[in-house]
Structure 1
Amino acid sequence: MISQDPTKRKLLSAVSHGSIFFSATLLAVGIPIAILLVSDDPIVKENAKEALNFHLNIWLYGIIFAILIIVLIGYVLLGILGLVSLIMPIIAILQILGDANKVYRYPFIFRVL
């Protein structure tokens, strides 16, 4: 059964992308995973996968940039990463709220899922 309710689609997709604002722990990743497992809507599932990929990329880049603190460039890169992790989900949420039938794709990330 595929959900065609645009309000539900917008809400679940926006919550998936906005989950990064809840915390940097497993709770933030658990929300898109739960939505991925519970929803029957293919667009919501794709948005949840994209949100998970973004989380994984932010964690990976954070680890790499933290290691680069040794050569002092890591401080700048972590600052940029912090801004990106705030701005990109907001853009994703706005795009989803504008068009419920769209899957938002984050630029410059590795898609694991």
Structure 2
Amino acid sequence: MVPDSCPNCGASLSPDANYCSECGDAVDDDSWGVSSEESSWGSDGSRSDSRTEYGSSRRTDGDTTMAALTHVLAIFTWAIGPLIVLIATDDPFVEENARNALNWQIAFTFYMLVSAVLVLAVIGIVPVLLLPVVDLAFCAIAAVKAADGEAWSYPATPDII
């Protein structure tokens, strides 16, 4: 049975509500009736326990936008954008993403140079055509993962920086 008002914040609830529209507490949660001091929700609206939205160890605090932007910058500025972000940031999560993006751009450059040399032997034509598409796809995947709070390591990329 759904209560008429939220015991946590006092907001009125609709009869079919699963969550309070004001504070976000679950209506059918076992924690109804628990005081706000005993609740697992912090004063800033984030969970104080180890659970996250997806049930994994994703980052939920801090700025994930700059981390995602680092990977997008790598598409347009090669290694210059991630290098500037790496030097300028104090956030460890953004720094890890900038390092991953910079390592990938260095590895991508090496792969392109090897493929360009192999073009002389004709076998490098396919990699020269496919690597830019792979670069775009990897940077897009990394940006989405960073926006979700995950530092994604690019495949086939050594830790150079």
- Could you tell me the TM-score, scaled by structure 1's length? 0.82
Q: Which has the higher contact order (CA 8 A, sep 6+)?
A: 1
SS of the aligned residue for 2:84 comes to helix
Aligned residues: CA RMSD: 1.6
Letter in 2 for 1:90: A
Q: Report the counterpart of residue 111 of structure 2 in structure 1.
A: 61
Percent identical among aligned pairs is 28
Residue 105 of structure 1 pairs with residue 153 of structure 2? yes
Partners of 1:73 and 1:108 lie apart in 2 by 20
The residue number in structure 1 matching 2:72 is 18
Structure 1 alignment gaps of length 5 or more: none
Unaligned runs of 5+ in 2: 1-59
Q: How far is the alpha carbon of 1:40 from its aligned partner?
A: 0.9
Distance 1:21 1:40 in 2: 23
3-state SS of the aligned residue for 1:40?
A: coil
Greater helix share, structure number: 1
1:79-98 aligned within 5 A: 79-98=129-148
Conserved? CA contact 2:70–2:97, under 8 Å: yes
Aligned length: 102
Q: Tell me, yes or no, if the aligned pair for 2:86 and 2:98 is still in contact at 8 Å.
A: yes
Corresponding position of 2:127: 77
Per-residue CA shift, 1:17-52, capped at 9, x if unaligned?
Answer: 1122214xxxx3222112111111111101000000
CA distance in 1, matches of 2:92, 2:80: 19
Deviation per residue, 1:83-102 (Å, 9 max, x gap)? 2111111111111112x2x2
SS of match in other structure, 1:54: helix
